[in-house]
Amino acid sequence: MNAASLNSGLVHTPLRPFGRVIEAPDGAEITDIPVDTLARWTVESRVLVLRGLRLLGKKEFADYCRLWGEVLKWEPGEVIDLIVEDDPKNYLFASGDVPFHWDGAFVEANPRYFFFQCLDATPDSGGETVFSDTTMAYRDAEPELRKRWERVSLTYKTEKLAHYGGEVTERLVSQHPATGVPVLRFAEPLDPDTYKNPVYVTVGGLQDDDRPDQFLDSTAELLHRSEYCYHHVWQSGDIVIADNYALVHGRNAFTGPTARHLQRVEVI
């Protein structure tokens, strides 16, 4: 299918409070849509949900993502299979919730985009991926709160139990590389009593009367507000492209047995 004829056959539907579903006609391939067009739509919408396209083989998926930029190589490979495991070492593979984070915090490179394809989904079993748009949270914040945020740096520490680990310090407020708008780089601490792979967070740059735990709680509460969050309910065949700079993301707990199988690739 050529790009012009496919473009007219794509049905765009906005998601709330942000994001976009694009439904493709039968027989369409992701490679029929120019990468720069999809990249523009991703930056505009922060999350793109593509439906009706053929899913790609594992190597083919990584090769496709390479058209967007350098593909991040994890120890297990370029494509990470996300499947719920019976005895996982890392919370990503357990059935509980995954608190907000951005991908690649513990690697040198900062991925621009991440790609998922959903090979299998179990309806009505929870496990929605939750995306929070930090650009909207920043835009709505009072000038005084923005000033407090500008001073803050967060240090994250985690043991390497799966494909990532280490210690990293990041300023809370950063700039989106494509649009220049302020974004928040925030990951929630993971309590060792609850999570298989705890993440410890220390806060630098607070004023004397600010308590670190209150600061972390209030920032997490703000980003969880419904006006900033899109909850993605997976369907088999979904291809999702997300902006890893504008968003933080996490996952709701599964509410029952699941056979869900996602594959994920990060593009720098």
243 scored as a contact of Fe ion (CB under 5 A): no
Would you say 164 or 200 has its CB closer to Fe ion?
Answer: 164
Would you say 24 or 229 has its CB closer to Fe ion?
Answer: 229
User: In this structure, are strands 166-171 and 173-175 parallel, antiparallel, or unpaired?
Assistant: unpaired
CB 203 to Fe ion: min, Å: 22
Binding residues for Fe ion, total number by CB under 5 A: 1
Would you say 103 or 243 has its CB closer to Fe ion?
Answer: 103
On whether the CB atoms of residues 242 and 134 are closer than 8 A, the answer is: no
What one-character DSSP code corresponds to residue 112?
S
Neighbouring-strand partners of residue 201: 156
Binding span for Fe ion by CB under 5 A among 50-58, 102-110, 176-184, 190-198: 102-110
CB 251 to Fe ion: min, Å: 8
Q: How many CB atoms lie within 10 A of CB 146?
A: 13
CB 186 to Fe ion: min, Å: 13
CB 28 to Fe ion: min, Å: 28
Residues 130-149, one symbol each (x = binds Fe ion by CB under 5 A, - = not), give: --------------------
Residues 53-92, one symbol each (x = binds Fe ion by CB under 5 A, - = not), give: ----------------------------------------
On whether the CB atoms of residues 111 and 267 are closer than 8 A, the answer is: yes
CB 243 to Fe ion: min, Å: 13
CA distance 251 to 201: 19
Please give the span between the terminal C-alpha atoms of the chain, in angstroms, as a whole number: 29
Cα separations in angstroms, 218 against 92, 212, 215, 250: 24, 10, 5, 17
On whether the CB atoms of residues 241 and 265 are closer than 8 A, the answer is: no
Burial state string for 98-133 with b = 16 or more CB within 10 A and e = fewer than 16: bbbbbbbbbbeebbbbbbbbbbebbeebbbbbbbbb
CB 250 to Fe ion: min, Å: 8
What one-character DSSP code corresponds to residue 238?
-
188 scored as a contact of Fe ion (CB under 5 A): no
103 scored as a contact of Fe ion (CB under 5 A): yes
CB 26 to Fe ion: min, Å: 32
Would you say 78 or 103 has its CB closer to Fe ion?
Answer: 103
Residue whose C-alpha is closest to residue 97's, from 133, 126, 120: 126
Would you say 3 or 253 has its CB closer to Fe ion?
Answer: 253
Would you say 32 or 103 has its CB closer to Fe ion?
Answer: 103
Nearest residue (beta carbon) to Fe ion: 103
Binding region for Fe ion (CB under 5 A): 103
